[in-house]
Structure 1
Amino acid sequence: MDDVPARIEHTVLGPTTTWSDVTAVLDTARQEGMAACLPPCYVADAAEYAPAVKTVTVVGFPHGQHATTTKCHEAQAAWNDGADELDVVANLGALREGDVETVERELAEVAAAVPVPVKVIVEAPLLDDGELRDVCQAAVDADADFVKTATGFADGGATVEDVAVMSEYLPVKASGGIGSWERADAMFEAGAERIGASSGDVIVSEYRDATGKADAATDDK
């Protein structure tokens, strides 16, 4: 398997997240060779604090029902602040109404607003198979780069079944309820390219224990 730590996005996105929480995640990500996923308000400081760490942030989070112009502004602001990738929540209300065209159009506007990779959070646990396939196809048509299983704020998380379906459309970031290497490995086997987890450090440690990989050298930048 390719470099696993580089495929992990060590995540801190809770409503009470502090700058101290963010620096702890950035320090661990830098040491272990992971990316970091963090709230938009900390992106500029994070880019200055840990420039060697790939920084991911969220757009329209967590419910996806921001106005399209707001999502586009959020995306541009995050990119200007130094975000390397963006995870945008799809408008599931429009999807549930069957208005896939609106979902696709909005995602296309966000993707076109920035020159960095855009992942579409589809909140798979809330969707039936048809809805999941519709939103994944909308992400393809919008020229998004990835689809992501879940925000972690709705009931349910990533499943191997959903990852397998989603991987038919775009590369997948599996996120939600992945707290061990065993779970992460199952997601990789199902077709995931990335893992988003608040337990990224645990996953990497267990991966190294299971495979005998040496610890990463600390990056002191």
Structure 2
Amino acid sequence: MNREEFAERIDHTVLGPETTWDDVKTVLDEATEDGMNACIPPCYVAGAEAYDGAPETLATVVGFPHGQASMASKHDEAVNAWNDGADEIDLVINVGRLKAGEDDAVAADVAEVTAAVPVPVKVIVETALLTDEEKHRACEAAVEADADMVKTSTGFADGGATVADVELMSEYLPVKASGGIGSYEAATAMFEAGAARIGASSGVEILSGFPDQSD
């Protein structure tokens, strides 16, 4: 994988509770300059779509960060994000329902969004809060709901992406590894484990470690 291909697999991200439009513009500029995608809060998607420095692929989040909004709310949030210009949706599952064994409800929640928008939906399962058995069930629900990818983490729970989780999840769907990935070496380990995409607020730092191929 050359540097351009590597960059295309990174979602450069800013999703913190104090995120300002200036923060978003910085991420958009950096993503465009380095050939990355961007993942930003839904309230800024319309502005980003109109911004001259926006990258080609713009992702946003739905039901973030806890996944406990109603099905109708997630549906409307996803549709609004798509109408505003989002190219991809990162949707948080309802972890509590999964832990309660309500797998059909989890799948229905996701299916409501995948059916509502014509863009890829990545399902965030929040691996740090799940047992391996629950991770399998979460991925099965994502498959049942016709999701396009599964994603490890929001970045707001204790713990983030691990090689073991990426290996487990990649048995079901392409994986976006997210949470705690701050270096080229960490990103490479995730790709080698089977990740198709990386989500990170440290996209620039990750790319700065890419080996010099000029020789």
The TM-score, its normalising length taken from structure 2, stands at: 0.96
Match of residue 40 from structure 2: 38
Match of residue 108 from structure 1: 111
User: How far does residue 54 in structure 1 lie from its aligned partner after superposition?
Assistant: 1.1
Distance in 2 (alpha carbons) for counterparts of 1:21 and 1:102: 36
Q: Does 1:67 align with 2:66?
A: no
Q: Does 1:144 align with 2:147?
A: yes
Distance in 2 (alpha carbons) for counterparts of 1:159 and 1:45: 33
**CA contact 2:125–2:138 (8 Å) conserved in 1:** yes
Show structure 1 runs of 5+ residues with no match: 215-221
**CA contact 1:26–1:53 (8 Å) conserved in 2:** no
User: How far does residue 51 in structure 1 lie from its aligned partner after superposition?
Assistant: 4.6
Distance in 2 (alpha carbons) for counterparts of 1:202 and 1:190: 21
Match of residue 20 from structure 2: 18
- For 2:155, the aligned partner's letter is G
- For 1:96, the aligned partner's letter is K
Match of residue 177 from structure 1: 180
User: How far does residue 161 in structure 1 lie from its aligned partner after superposition?
Assistant: 0.2
Distance in 1 (alpha carbons) for counterparts of 2:214 and 2:31: 17
Show structure 2 runs of 5+ residues with no match: none
- Classify the secondary structure of the residue corresponding to 2:8: helix
Match of residue 93 from structure 2: 90
Task: Tell me how many residue pairs correspond in the alignment.
Answer: 212
Aligned-residue sequence identity (percent) comes to 62
Report the more deviating stretch, 7-16 or 52-61: 52-61
User: How far does residue 211 in structure 1 lie from its aligned partner after superposition?
Assistant: 4.5
**CA contact 1:75–1:86 (8 Å) conserved in 2:** yes
> Per-residue displacement from partner, 1:137-161 (whole Å, max 9, x unpaired)?
1000100000000000000000000
- For 1:168, the aligned partner's letter is E
Distance in 2 (alpha carbons) for counterparts of 1:213 and 1:132: 42
